[in-house]
């Protein structure tokens, strides 16, 4: 029979595991992992040395953890007000204070790991994170809610090129494609929560444009980004294939939006177009 100390130890371990799981759930795991994998793919495509690439990927992961946690920590009361108990903080699985503390720690880790990769990456990552935190802290409720996405995602392709042994900013066409990707993510992702956001006083750009216009603008922006990559990187067979795929998905999205209110299918199609743009950017 286990002693009392053993039982307490098991209980404490279970509670700790549960807390870690809740914190991870509040990081927005899907987007966090997608952006992290994209940083790896861009780094490989840019020929970043393995040791430097490891630092870059972990730094990006830590930065995304901080963004996700700060978002849910700041929005905890708002999410609870609209019944979003599926979110760990709104559901009471983890406190906003604890999540915010971990988020701040993650920022320190992200910037600390960026420092050895050079002042260029450190500056770019700091600007991108400050932009994302500014969105979480209040810009999301203004007509300029798209600005942090344009800035942060526009800088993102430069993370890989600034991490190399000979750091440079990414080509302008890559920056444009990154900004287009960010705009699509913002305009489309928010569409799913428009009604809940309005109830809690959030009125960013997508709320002002409306769901249909937001999706159309997102789709058009993705096509512009894909065209920039195609022309900027040089027209190739693979480049044409990616561009054609992006255009096809964007056209289907626009047609669906024209005949019925935007729903889950439209969101998924727009995200598919965005992922195709990201892949095109990697292979360019």
pLDDT of residue 257: 87
Sketch out the chain's domains with CATH numbers: 10-170 (1.10.357.140), 173-284 (1.20.120)
Q: For each successive 10 residues of the chain (284 residues), what is the average pLDDT?
A: 52 68 91 94 95 98 97 87 82 91 97 97 98 95 95 97 95 96 88 71 87 90 95 91 94 88 79 89 88
pLDDT of residue 190: 73
DSSP for the chain, please give it.
---HHHHHHHHHHHHHHHHHHHHHHTT-HHHHHHHHHHHHHHHHHTT--HHHHHHHHHHHHHHHHHHHHHHHHHTHHHHHHTT-TTSTTTTTSS-HHHHHHHHHHHHHHHHHHHGGG-HHHHHHHHHHHHHHHHHHHTGGGSTTTTHHHHHHHHHHHHHHHHTSSS--PPPHHHHHHHHHHHHHHHHHHHHTTHHHHHHTT---HHHHH-HHHHHHHHHHHHHHHHHHHHHHH---HHHHHHHHHHHHHHHHHHHHHHHS---HHHHHHHHHHHHHHHHHHHH-
pLDDT of residue 33: 93
pLDDT of residue 1: 47
pLDDT of residue 85: 78
Query: What is this structure's pTM?
Result: 0.90
pLDDT of residue 235: 87
């Amino acid at each position: 029979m286990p002693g009392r100390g053993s039982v307490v130890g098991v209980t404490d371990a279970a509670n700790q595991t549960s807390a870690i799981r809740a914190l991870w759930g509040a990081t927005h795991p899907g987007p966090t992992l997608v952006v992290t994998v994209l940083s790896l793919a861009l780094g490989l495509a840019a020929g970043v040395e393995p040791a430097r690439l490891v630092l870059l990927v972990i730094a990006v992961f830590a930065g995304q953890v901080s963004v996700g946690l700060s978002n849910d920590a700041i929005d905890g009361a708002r999410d609870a007000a609209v019944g979003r108990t599926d979110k760990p903080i709104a559901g009471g699985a983890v406190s906003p204070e604890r999540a915010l503390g971990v988020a701040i720690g993650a920022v320190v880790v992200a910037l600390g790991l960026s420092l050895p990769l050079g002042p260029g990456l450190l500056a770019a990552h700091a600007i991108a994170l400050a932009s994302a935190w500014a969105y979480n802290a209040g810009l999301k409720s203004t007509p300029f809610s798209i600005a942090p996405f344009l800035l942060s995602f526009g800088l993102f392709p430069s993370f890989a090129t600034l991490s190399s042994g000979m750091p440079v900013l990414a080509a302008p066409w890559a920056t444009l494609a990154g900004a287009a990707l960010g705009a699509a993510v913002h305009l489309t992702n928010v569409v799913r929560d428009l009604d809940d956001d309005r109830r809690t006083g959030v009125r960013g750009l997508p709320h002002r444009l409306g769901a249909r216009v937001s999706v159309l603008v997102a789709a058009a922006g993705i096509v512009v980004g894909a065209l920039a990559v195609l022309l900027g990187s040089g027209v190739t067979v693979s480049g044409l294939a990616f561009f054609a795929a992006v255009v096809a998905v964007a056209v289907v999205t626009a047609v669906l939006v024209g005949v019925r209110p935007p729903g889950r299918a439209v969101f998924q199609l727009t995200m598919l177009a965005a992922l195709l743009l990201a892949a095109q950017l990697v292979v360019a």
